[in-house]
A = this chain, B = another copy of it.
Amino acid sequence: VIRALVFDVFGTLVDWRTSVAVEVAATFGARGVVVDGLALADAWRAEYQPAMERIRSGGRGYVPLDDLHRENLERVLAAFGLSLQAPEVDGLARAWERLTPWPDVPEGLRAARGRALVAPCSNGSIGMMARLARHAGLSWDGILGADLARDYKPKPVVYLAACAALRLPPAEVMMVAAHNGDLAAARAAGLATGFIPRPLEHGPSQTSDLSPEADWDVVAEDLPRLARGIPGP
């Protein structure tokens, strides 16, 4: 029996790419500067895994994603030959607290809450997830993920710390994600797995994670269908 659903957030529940691009374009538009927001969003996101990898590998102590986002943004702005005042960088760095959910998510999370405890198991910090949930109209039973484990997915400790905090055996917790790699790591840690595709996460030319790459426990085309596939309490 599944007693909790824990969710990847960036890409699985919210459309980070379009949301960040809009914020970038607005920030520079206000100064009369035209910037390709999608290109900057992609470049910013490309810094995400390397920044976390330094921490996962032990080369740097745990630093919340908020700080990594800001550091990465400064690097990307420099690479694009762009500059902003510090308060504008601060504001733009927090664009990740103002992302738009995919259209099926509010209904899907409500359905999921009727069947199990629900919590993000994201690499975002607790504060980032709390403010994003307020912005996006999401309701959680708690916030799990990187801050609790003080390390980053896909390291097993992140999934295991989430289960331990809920006081549930991993087999009673399902990781829900649009990313096969996240689910492979969750399965290796003993969790159940649920996949929904997000074929537009990286834009119309996306080539990764278009379909399930293993026999995940539940595969559904959207979150409400996935939630209805979970046995009720």
Which A residues fall within an 8 A CB radius of B? Answer: 64, 66, 117, 119, 125-131, 133-134, 139-144, 147-148, 165-168
Q: Which residue of B has the minimal Cβ distance to A118?
A: B130
Docked CA distance A127–B172 (Å): 13
For A64, list chain B residues within 8 Å (CB): 167
**What residue in chain B is nearest A165 (Cβ atoms)?**
B126
Q: What is the count of identical protomers in the complex?
A: 2
- Which of B66, B128, B133, B142 lies in contact with A126, CB distance below 8 A? B142
Question: Are the C-beta atoms of B66 and A127 separated by less than 8 Å?
Answer: no
In the assembled complex, the CB of A111 is this many whole angstroms from the nearest CB of chain B, namely 16
A117–B135 Cα distance when bound, in Å, is: 12
Using CB atoms, name the residue of chain B closest to A143: B142
The docked-state distance in angstroms from the alpha carbon of A95 to that of B143 is: 23
Which residue of B119, B140, B148 contacts A148 across the interface (Cβ within 8 Å)?
B148
Chain B residues near A127: list those with CB within 8 A: 165-168
- Known pairs A66-B167, A147-B165, A167-B66; A129 contacts B117 (CB<8 A): no
Q: List 12 A-B contacts (CB under 8 A).
A: A64-B167, A119-B130, A125-B165, A126-B142, A126-B144, A126-B165, A127-B167, A133-B141, A140-B141, A141-B143, A147-B148, A147-B165
Across the A-B interface, the 10 shortest Cβ-Cβ residue pairs: A127-B167, A126-B165, A142-B143, A130-B141, A127-B166, A130-B142, A126-B142, A147-B165, A117-B130, A66-B167
Given A125-B165, A126-B144, A126-B165; 16 other pairs, CB 8 A cutoff: A64-B167, A117-B130, A119-B130, A125-B167, A126-B166, A127-B167, A127-B168, A128-B167, A129-B142, A130-B142, A134-B141, A139-B139, A140-B142, A141-B143, A142-B143, A147-B165
